[in-house]
Amino acid sequence: MTTPHWALRLGTRRSALAMAQSGMIADQVRALTGRPVDLVEITTYGDVSREALATIGGTGVFVSALRDALLAGEIDLAVHSLKDLPTAQPAELALAAVPVRADARDALVARDGLTFEQLVVENGVTRIGTGSPRRMAQLNAWARSLGCELDTVAIRGNVDTRIGYVSGGELDAVVLASAGLHRLGREAEITDFLPPDTVLPAPGQGALAVECAASNAELAAQLAELDDPFTRVAVTAERSLLAALEAGCSAPVGALADLRSDERDVTEMRLRGVVGTTDGATLVQLSTTGPVPASPAEAVTHAARVGAELAREMLAKGAAGLMGERAL
């Protein structure tokens, strides 16, 4: 029989952002369990590949190595950016906690402190870098609505690399997740927050996922104390929409669930979804609003159903043909 490790081993990607996120969760787990937590750095395929995410498929490329380590017993828990997590949950692993979500919006880091509209309206063709087809679709559609032309450039790399394209003069701006910039203490470099009414974030953006082996019921129960029920409801709706579209995280799909609540419970949810061609010429955008059951368990089940229903409506409007993936 293997003797359990007293120190919990938390698996994390090696990037500065992943380490910051994992360090934040490690502090919470230490306080929760009274046990030391050691960070175990793991390299994923997405970290070493230089191909565009849309080329390598995107889904799971940043999480599969961490999950393999969990299943092999090499680590006790793992922290992921929820937007990188495939929508299908393996039975052997428990999504033990989704902590309180950070800002879900996308953020612009532009030269000369400019906003998006200042860039595109005042500067002619603007070069904006992003690795996300979802962002490309909505940014190009926004520029079209302003009567302007945008040159979206596919980029990869960590936050330093991406912002370096702007400071080095290769690009006018880059778009990154606001949550990541805040977690790295680089929010001062944001020149514009992109409103969700115009640019919907990726499903689950701004949220973290804490995973452990399903067989470790004691640890799963402890980690569940980190779960935020409001965030769980919102991201369940968004990820259910993504799953029903049968789209991966590299597809041009945006979704955001906005919740209204009283002091204790979610009372109403508005879910918005978008799918579009990367040139912004065609978008399918739909939303739905309705009450949410008071019971946390029922609220999650309801959120999953709402996400799937909205996805079916989007498919009926032609979403499948816009995702660059298998038509349904």
| Angstrom distances, CA of residue 77 to CA of 92, 219, 264, 271 | 13, 9, 29, 31
| Angstrom distances, CA of residue 110 to CA of 133, 168, 206 | 19, 12, 21
134 is catalytic: yes
106 is catalytic: no
Query: Do 126 and 150 touch, CB atoms closer than 8 A?
Result: yes
* Segment 284-318, tens digit of pLDDT: 999 999 999 989 999 999 999 999 999 999 999 99
Predicted pLDDT of residue 262: 77
All residue ranges of the chain with pLDDT < 50 are 1-3, 49, 53, 55-58, 325-328
Predicted pLDDT of residue 248: 65
Predicted pLDDT of residue 27: 97
Let me know if the fold of 106-194 is the same as that of 228-322: no
249 is catalytic: yes
Following DSSP, what letter does each residue of 30-76 receive, concatenated? HHHHSS-EEEEE---HHHH--S-HHHH--TTTTTHHHHHHHHTTS-S
Is domain 1-99+207-227 in CATH 3.40.50.10800, yes or no?
no
pTM summary value: 0.90
162 is catalytic: yes
* Segment 22-68, tens digit of pLDDT: 999 999 999 999 999 999 999 865 555 455 545 444 456 679 999 99
Catalytic residue, candidates 76, 84, 172, 192:
84
- Position 166: which residue type? V
326 is catalytic: no
Predicted pLDDT of residue 234: 97
232 is catalytic: no
CATH pick for 106-194 out of 3.40.190.10, 3.30.1360.120, 3.40.50.1820, 3.40.50.800: 3.40.190.10
Domain locations along the chain: 1-99+207-227, 106-194, 228-322
212 is catalytic: no
Catalytic residue, candidates 67, 101, 105, 135:
135
CATH fold of 228-322 reads Double Stranded RNA Binding Domain (3.30.160)
